[in-house]
Amino acid sequence: MARIVIAGDFGGTNLRAALVTETGEILVRHEVSTTPDASPDGALEGIGDLLMKVRDYGSELPVAASLAVAGLIDGENGRVLASPNIPAFRNLGLTLPLSERLGIPVLIANDASAAALGEFRFGAGQGTRHLLHATLGTGIGGGIVIDGRLYKGTQGLAGELGHIVLDTDGPPCGCGSRGCLEAMAGGIALGRRAQRLVESGGAPILAEIASGRSATAGDLAEAARRGEVAAIAEIREGGHIIGIGLGSIINVLNPDVVTLSGGLLGMGDFLLDPLRAGLASLAFGPAANTPVRISTLGADAGLLGAAAVALAK
């Protein structure tokens, strides 16, 4: 009999949960808004309610549930150490109380780690063995699959790709260091570059798009699509930096494939061409040809990642 699992995707604005089959079919899904000011107990109860609703959809009991959560996750002990989007999730043990309520094992994983396993099982990484996944969004994260299994590292912290340093004198990063990949080419960093471009006066299209507010990475993409040369150059520079960062990690990990997801991919080839070129210029020997593939999972990547973690149990 095919196994089914509960997948939870806890993003910044929504909590989503679904019942997912072994082949990645989503049988039912529910979604609620996050309540940023919820107490830990309140957050836990809301999550439990959501998961119970999904659990009770079918006649068959799911074999496990898995929650993909942004932030520092101690998967071994089922704890969220810190989550940027959900302040109540600070040093909060999630899996034990949820497992008691649901009556099935509940796992928790960093959302980018789960996404890596989701690509491996259901998406752009199918048929590979060692996979490096990078999430290119507001921040930059990632996950690693080795020998077909999610590699979590000693404290479950593996895959923090956004915090490799590419310029020891670079811009300050939210993590307290300088010149991290995320601080140089994540969505927030690109937004800052866009704003500087507006202030320089050299990007009239961008200035018009962002008029009356600070420019964002999305504005930069839009200006590039409208042909603004300076915006294109900024995106290309960002893509180059991400490529050098991924190439660095390839030199350490030598994966079969690199898969990419996240909002920055909306910048298209403006970002991807220099990303691929930077990666190939740095990666060693035959690793220069490591394929770079775009996620095929779309909006369901988070849920399918969580499902892949539950199915791997």
Binding site for a copy of itself (CB under 8 A): 72, 81-82, 129-130, 142, 144, 146, 151-161, 163-169, 175-177, 240-241, 244-245, 247-249, 251-256, 281-282, 284-287, 290
Structure tokens given for 161:
């790709």
**How far apart (Å, rounded) are the C-alpha atoms in residues 73 and 299?**
22
> With respect to a copy of itself, which residue has the nearer C-beta, 161 or 312?
161
**What is the smallest separation between the CB atom of 269 and a copy of itself, expressed in angstroms?**
21
For a copy of itself, which is the closer residue by CB, 99 or 254?
254
How near is the Cβ of 255 to a copy of itself at its closest, in Å?
6
Closest CA to 291 of 76, 45, 127, 151: 127
Q: How far apart are CA 115 and CA 297, in angstroms?
A: 9
- In the bound state with a copy of itself, the residue whose beta carbon lies nearer, of 203 and 249, is 249
Task: Report, in Å, the least distance between residue 96 CB and a copy of itself.
Answer: 20
One-letter amino acid for residue 143 of the chain: G
Strand partners for 83 = none
Question: In terms of CB distance, is 285 or 298 closer to a copy of itself?
Answer: 285
* Cα–Cα distance measured from residue 94 to residue 112, given in angstroms and rounded to the nearest whole number: 18
Residue with tokens 């099982």: 121
d(CA 196, CA 233): 13
**Smallest separation, CB 291 to a copy of itself (Å):** 11
Q: Looking at this protein, which amino acid is placed at residue 118?
A: G
Rounded-to-integer distance, Cα 30 and Cα 88, Å:
21
Q: b/e string for 4-37 if b means 16 or more Cβ within 10 A? A: bbbbbbbbeeebbbbbbeeebeeeebeeeebeee
Axis-axis angle for helices 229-253, 217-225 (nearest 10): 120
CB nearer to a copy of itself: give 176 or 212: 176
Residues 164, 168, 171, CA angle at the centre, nearest 5°? 85
Query: Between 73 and 308, whose beta carbon lies closer to a copy of itself?
Result: 73
* Least distance to a copy of itself, CB of residue 171, Å: 13
Q: How far is the CB of 30 from a copy of itself (least distance, A)?
A: 32
Q: Compute the least distance from the CB of residue 250 to a copy of itself, in Å.
A: 8
| SS3 labels along 18-47 | EEEECCCCEEEEEEEECCCCCCHHHHHHHH
Q: Token digits for 135?
A: 């999430």
160 vs 228, beta carbon nearer a copy of itself: 160
Shortest Å, Cβ 149 to a copy of itself: 9
CA distance 303 to 121: 12
- The residue (of 155 and 211) whose beta carbon lies closer to a copy of itself is 155
Q: Please state, as a whole number, how many other Cβ atoms lie within 10 Å of the Cβ of residue 149.
A: 11
